[in-house]
Amino acid sequence: MTTDELAILIDSSKPLVVLLPVGAIEPHGPHLALETDVVISQAAAVRAASVLSAGGLAALIAPAVPYGVTECAAAFSGAVSVPAATLTALLQSLVESYLGNGIAHVGIVNNHLEPAHDQAVRAAINGIDSTRASVSSPLTRRWARTLSGEFKSGACHAGRYETSIMMAAAPELVRDHERGELPEVPISLSEKLQSGVEDFAEMGLSRAYAGDPARATAEHGSEQLDLLAEMIATQVSEAMES
Ligand SMILES: [Zn+2]
């Protein structure tokens, strides 16, 4: 989008929403690209924009912030992390700058679910008018319960859930031959985190994934993306109406 095209949208009568996809550069098993979480946020944001426009709002997708806090996967190649305070400061600056441009609402969309990262993302909108910024992330009781059984079990890192979404959103970033031969790793990350184990290798994720990627399908991924889009559209609409 050019500056003139954006200016026309800002001046139009419809309130303009910007969705800002956030992820992490992090190992996702032998079969998914390091940027998986960013791609999931982008794909969910694209679908959410359609839901929001059907509801009378104009929604744009901002260029993503691909880097996040990723300490859990530090034992594997490709975990590229930034400090939590750095991520919070960057996201807060971006939200304030978009709002300063005349955007009505900035919806941050996060799908990297490491707790320290999710908290750093949420902290970015502290102190900002709550009608003008929101965070959508499935790391909440409200939204997690809407997603797949595997997601709810906590075995949700590069398993059937994320792999299916990637097969729907960016099949070129899935190594399908490797995927089909991977055994199920039924380890719940949420249970491990609750018991104080934060390192993937220590959790028993010997190849940086949990869950059942061999059972992933693009159709299942598309269904999960629709649920994420519903989450984003609802979070944004509720915040704007509050
Ligand atoms: Zn992921």
Residue 138 Cα to ligand 1 midpoint, Å, equals: 12
Residue 189 Cα to ligand 1 midpoint, Å, equals: 12
Given this model, what pLDDT does residue 156 score? 86
Residue 137 Cα to ligand 1 midpoint, Å, equals: 12
How many domains is the chain built from?
1
Given this model, what pLDDT does residue 155 score? 87
Tens digit of each residue's pLDDT (9 = 90 or more) over 165-220:
999 999 999 999 999 999 999 999 989 988 999 999 999 999 999 999 999 999 99
Given this model, what pLDDT does residue 137 score? 96
Given this model, what pLDDT does residue 207 score? 96
Residue 112 Cα to ligand 1 midpoint, Å, equals: 5
CA–CA separation, 193 and 200 (whole Å): 10
Residue 119 Cα to ligand 1 midpoint, Å, equals: 16
Given this model, what pLDDT does residue 104 score? 96
Which residue segment(s) compose the domain that 223 sits in?
3-241
Residue 4 Cα to ligand 1 midpoint, Å, equals: 36
Residue 156 Cα to ligand 1 midpoint, Å, equals: 8
Please say if the pLDDT value at position 110 is more than 90.
yes
Q: Is 149 exposed, middle or buried (0-12, 13-18, 19+ CB in 10 A)?
A: exposed
Residue 28 Cα to ligand 1 midpoint, Å, equals: 6
Q: What is the CATH number of the domain that holds 97?
A: 3.40.50.10310
Residue 158 Cα to ligand 1 midpoint, Å, equals: 6
